[in-house]
Amino acid sequence: MAFGGAGFAISYPLAKVLAEHLDSCIDRYPHLYGSDGRIHACLTELGVTLTHEPGFHQMDVRGNIFGLLAAHPTRPLVSLHHLDAVKPIFPKMTAMEALKHLLEATKVDSQRTLQQTVCYDRWFSWTLSVSWGYAVQLVGFNEFLPVAVLMQETYVPWKRGPLYINHNLNTAKYQPDPCKRPVVFFFDRVSSSRDGIASIYKKTENNCTFDKIQEVRVFSKKLDLDIKQLQAPRRQCCDVLPSSADRVMEINIRECGAEELIYMHA
């Protein structure tokens, strides 16, 4: 469950029991704000403990939420709230156009949408972070994995003042100098066939480096997680492939081996 407008989900058996007592329960909590708060109180009366699901996003922030989306938790995306209070999630689009664009990827592989994968280019010592269906980031050096997966503070707090602090304790400061930021390639299109899924990401602006590379192609299989994988998610692995075209980088996403590590190579 996520408090606020991010939403919540309950099972059918629980909903069936809740429906029998809902009217009287709501009458007992007129002082609570919002339907979610009242439902929570009613479920508490039934002795049900709620579980936080990272795929629900209340997003009480403003501005550019690129950092939040590009470092999404390793869980399926469920909801994005307050999109009317933030900038469009894709450049050069309206908020509605950008959301529909993200849904193009979601329709092809909903469980993989926004899932972050990090791989290292052995030839040039580059670090690449793929947020599937959204963006690819390219860093021109080997970056430790715990740093590569950090959420960048591209956004600003929902409300300003000493009482409103950043609740994301483990984040990375956003570099104001574009020359010091990763090169970003945004999702352009996706196609699916019997051989797998190919998603294309294109650079929208230059930032002092990597002028030659204009496009990143990411190959993957449809993600279909079973209940055990959902309960104990594991980040997948990826490999930088020898490029088949000039000005293009190609990446393959796959399941990691049983004992495989994701780390930068000397």
Q: What is the pLDDT of residues 85-111, one digit of tens each?
A: 899 999 999 999 999 999 999 999 999
**Does one domain contain both 105 and 38?**
no
pLDDT for position 2: 46
pLDDT for position 1: 45
Sort 20 into a burial class: Cβ within 10 Å, 0-12 / 13-18 / 19+.
Answer: exposed
Question: Is position 105 within any domain?
Answer: yes
Whole-number Å distance between alpha carbons of 201 and 211 = 15
**Does one domain contain both 34 and 61?**
no
pTM for this structure? 0.88
**Does one domain contain both 146 and 40?**
no
**Does one domain contain both 63 and 40?**
no
pLDDT for position 49: 86
pLDDT for position 168: 52
* Number of structural domains in the chain: 2
What range does the domain containing 16 cover? 4-45
**Does one domain contain both 224 and 203?**
yes
**Does one domain contain both 99 and 31?**
no
**Does one domain contain both 220 and 91?**
yes
**Does one domain contain both 19 and 104?**
no
pLDDT for position 226: 87
Please state the φ and ψ torsions of residue 103, each to the nearest 5 degrees. Answer: -65, -25
pLDDT for position 173: 87
Question: Is position 225 within any domain?
Answer: yes
**Does one domain contain both 18 and 95?**
no
Residue ranges of the chain with per-residue pLDDT less than 50:
1-3
